[in-house]
Amino acid sequence: DTGVSQDPRHKITKRGQNVTFRCDPISEHNRLYWYRQTLGQGPEFLTYFQNEAQLEKSRLLSDRFSAERPKGSFSTLEIQRTEQGDSAMYLCASSLVPGTGGADTQYFGPGTRLTVL
Amino acid sequence: KNEVEQSPQNLTAQEGEFITINCSYSVGISALHWLQQHPGGGIVSLFMLSSGKKKHGRLIATINIQEKHSSLHITASHPRDSAVYICAVRAMEYGNKLVFGAGTILRVKS
């Protein structure tokens, strides 16, 4: 078990460019979460999937953000027309569905640090 | 106002000291988590609490549901404990999603 992995670990881009991040969850986990964390703050919820279904999106997630989990395994988060305010650490986490006999613990990936110049 | 407040924001301790980090929350919760984040981003779950007290090695976490308060204690602190400690609650009014505190930056000096 390699845990939750994210790629890339760092991304530097120019304002206006599109970027895509990938998250590979723990294989048997059916829930996958995306969070954003800015310097000095705790993570903020962006969206989550149960299997391939995107069940909820935060109001923080503008129309420039889109996330997919096409086969219920890995997920991608795309940011279109990046802005300097998008600079942050983007964290992915996975878990089993709470209450189905699985633990209510989210396992976090190492994050992708995005810098928009 | 943040639903989850942590104190202190920054904490510097000498190796061997007993450390306490506090977390207060203002929403109804189904569980509270303590997380550890090392430089570079990786977050590790330390505890999940819904009542009482849990202990793991030198770490102790307590929660008082009536007072909406939790504490994380580190006994015999060590420089390798240096990290950001984050309190997160599973908030019922937000569909049981995790709501995070801003974190406490702990530095333990040898």
CA separation for the pair B41, A23 (Å, rounded): 14
Chain A residue with the nearest C-alpha to that of B86:
A42
| A26-71 pLDDT tens trace | 998 999 999 999 988 999 999 999 999 999 999 878 899 999 999 8
- Write the residue in B41, B48, B101 that is nearest to A42 by C-beta: B101
Length of chain B measured in residues: 110
* Chain A residues lying within 8 Å of B96, measured CB to CB: 98
Mutate to test the interface with A, among B32, B85, B98 (most CBs of A within 10 A): B98
Measure B48 CA to nearest chain A CA, in Å: 8
Distance CA B65, CA B42 (A): 29
pLDDT tens, B29-86? Answer: 999 999 999 887 789 999 999 999 999 999 999 999 999 999 999 999 999 999 999 9
Residue A41: which of B90, B95, B102 has the nearest Cβ?
A: B102
Helix (H, G, I), strand (E, B) or coil at A38: coil
CA dist., res. B57 & res. A41, Å (int): 27
Q: Does A43 touch chain B (CB under 8 A)?
A: yes
